[in-house]
Amino acid sequence: MKNAIIIGAAGRDFHNFNTFFRNNTDYNVIAFTAAQIPDIEGRKYPAELAGDLYPDGIPIFAEQDLPKLIKERHIDVCVFSYSDVTYDKVMHTSAIVNAAGASFMLLGPNDTMIKSTKPVVSVCAIRTGCGKSQTSRRVIEILMEHGLKVVAIRHPMPYGNILKQKVQRFAKIEDLAYHNCTIEEMEEYEPHIVRGNVIYSGVDYEAIVRAAENDPDGCDVIVWDGGNNDFSFYKPDLQITLVDPHRIGHELRYYPGEMNLRFADVVIINKIDTASNENITQ
C-alpha cells in the first residue's frame, strides 16, 4: 500500500479522492494540502464522506507544509489536484515533491470522469474568466427552447461545512439562504434559478449527478458549468471549450487548459466584440 497526499484547493482534490482513492486499497491517503481557498487548512475531510477506509476522516494542511509532510509521514506519491495554474507552477510543485523523495502524479479523465445516465454537455475553458458561466446559461436557454428539462451542475465551491455541502440543490432563491451561500456562490447560482432551471453543486459529485438525473422537476440533459479552467467531472457527450483572444498563448501554458482545448468537440472564441482581429485570428 502506498501513502499518498492529495495537493488541492477544496474542489478537484476532493473529487479525485472520491473517484480514485476512496475505496482503493492500493493507497492510503494520509492528508490533503490546500491552496487558493482561505482557511481550509486545519480542517478535515469528514469521515462520513471519506468512506470505510478512513473512519477518522482525512486532515487538511497548508501546501507550504508539503516537504515536511512527505518526510514525516513517509509519503510515496503526491497527486496534483487543482486548476488554472501555469505549467511552471505544476513542475515547480513536482520538483518540491520529488526533492522530498515522493513521486508526482496527475490523474486524467479515465480515472476521474463519472458517466451519467443522461446526455452531458460540458462547458470548460483554457483559463478562468473566459466566460464559461455565461456560455453555460446560453446553452441551457437553447436546450430549454427545444422543450428539454435541463439541470446544471456547477464546479465545487465548498467554502462552508463540507459534510453539509455534500449535495446542494438550488431551485428557488430561498435555497441560497438555506445553504448559507457566499456572494460568489450566489452570483453563480442565482442566474440559473431565475431562468427556471435547477442547479446542483457540492462535494460528492457521484451523489450529485445521481440526484440530478432523478431531479423532481425532471432532467433530460445535464450541463456541466465548469469552474477555474478545470476539466469536467463528468464524461461529456459534447465538450465546449472557450478560448480568450485577450490572452493569446495561455491555452498552451496553463494546466489543464490545454487539455480542455485538445479534448474539445467545439471551441468558442469569446469576447470578440472587444478583441482585435489580429488576436482573434491567431
Please tell me the CATH superfamily of domain 113-281, with its number. Answer: P-loop containing nucleotide triphosphate hydrolases (3.40.50.300)
pLDDT digit string, tens, across residues 229-264: 899 999 999 999 999 888 889 999 999 999 999 999
pLDDT at 268: 93
Q: Using CA atoms, how far apart are residues 6 and 81, in angstroms rounded to an integer?
A: 7
pLDDT at 282: 62
pLDDT at 181: 83
Write down the domain spans for the chain.
Answer: 2-110, 113-281
Residue 258: exposed, middle, or buried by beta-carbon count in 10 A (0-12, 13-18, 19+)? Answer: middle
What is the full DSSP assignment across the chain? Answer: -EEEEEEESSSHHHHHIIIIITT-TTEEEEEEEE-SSTT-TT-EE-HHHH-TT-TT-EEEEEGGGHHHHHHHTT--EEEEE--SEEHHHHHHHHHHHHHTT-EEE---HHHHPBPPSS-EEEEEESSTTSSHHHHHHHHHHHHHHTT--EEEEEPP---S-TTTTSEEEESSTHHHHHTT--HHHHHHHHHHHHHT-EEEEES-HHHHHHHHHT-TT--SEEEEE--TTPPPSB--SEEEEEE-TTSTTGGGTEETHHHHHHH-SEEEE--TTTS-HHHHH-
* Common-topology check for domains 2-110 and 113-281: yes
pLDDT at 160: 76
Show pLDDT as tens, one digit a residue, over the chain (282 residues): 999 999 998 889 999 999 999 999 999 999 999 886 666 656 899 999 999 999 999 999 989 999 999 999 999 999 999 999 999 999 999 999 999 999 999 999 999 999 999 999 999 999 988 888 899 999 999 999 999 999 999 998 877 788 889 999 999 999 888 888 888 888 888 888 888 889 999 999 999 999 999 999 999 999 999 887 899 999 999 999 999 888 889 999 999 999 999 999 999 998 767 656 666 566
CATH classification code of 2-110 = 3.40.50.720
Q: Using CA atoms, how far apart are residues 147 and 100, in angstroms rounded to an integer?
A: 56
pLDDT at 192: 87
Handedness of CA 127, 133, 139, 143 (dihedral sign): positive
Q: For residues 189, 194, 196 and 198, what is the CA-based torsion angle, rounded to 10 degrees?
A: 20
Distances (CA, A) of 266 to 122, 136, 157, 222: 10, 13, 26, 17
- Model's pTM, two decimal places? 0.92
pLDDT digit string, tens, across residues 217-231: 999 999 999 887 899
pLDDT digit string, tens, across residues 6-26: 999 888 999 999 999 999 999
Nearest to 232 by CA among 253, 208, 259, 251: 259
Cell numbers describing residue 111: 480515472
Distances (CA, A) of 216 to 44, 158, 219, 240, 278: 32, 24, 8, 27, 48
Nearest to 256 by CA among 95, 141, 107: 107
Q: Using CA atoms, how far apart are residues 122 and 202, in angstroms rounded to an integer?
A: 17
pLDDT at 222: 98
